[in-house]
Amino acid sequence: MSRREFGKRVTHSCKVEEHRKKSKRAVSPAVKIKIDDLRGDAIKQLLQEHLEDMHRYSPKQSVHALNLEQLRKPEVTFWSAWEDDDDNNELLGCGALKELSPEHGEIKSMRTVSSHLGRGVASAILTHILDEAKRRNYKRVSLETGSQGAFLPARRLYAKFGFKECGPFGEYLRTVTAS
């Protein structure tokens, strides 16, 4: 892999009213999604793994994942997904929505616990986030992800929901200008 490929990041966007819920897989187990205060050990560990992977697959200047302090800012709403089972309260994944403007939100920190990959957890979280964006009357929701193979499952998921590649937005405009 060339250094240029390693550093390439991809931005995506969709109009909120056009997002599609095309996932044909049933979520198993049932998922309970709730706003999270980011204080539990399980969510801290999952976010640490997320940050480590972002640094593993992207050059430092291209890592835009938010840390705990940034995820606690008022413009960010953070959700965690849990197994909805009386006998088990296991963390399945997480995701966040950052308000960029009254009409534009950005998806951040999408992550599924590795033992639950391929079970529809990310689709459930993404559906929840897009439903919230619609409730907030956002006209546009955007996200940034990597172009490397490790990010292919994420790019496929976003495409299923109607996201299309787009030019830089928000803080990514400054990143492109600075490089």
Architecture in CATH of 3-178: 3-Layer(aba) Sandwich (3.40)
Residue 155: both structure tokens together: 């790019």
Tokens at 177, concatenated: 């200008």
Dihedral Cα 91, 33, 73, 139, nearest 10 deg: 140
pTM across the whole model: 0.81
Q: Is the CB of residue 16 less than 8 Å from the CB of residue 141? A: yes
159 vs 169: CA distance, rounded Å: 18
Amino acid in the structure at residue 139: K
State pLDDT tens for residues 67-105. 889 899 999 999 999 997 766 789 999 999 999 999 999
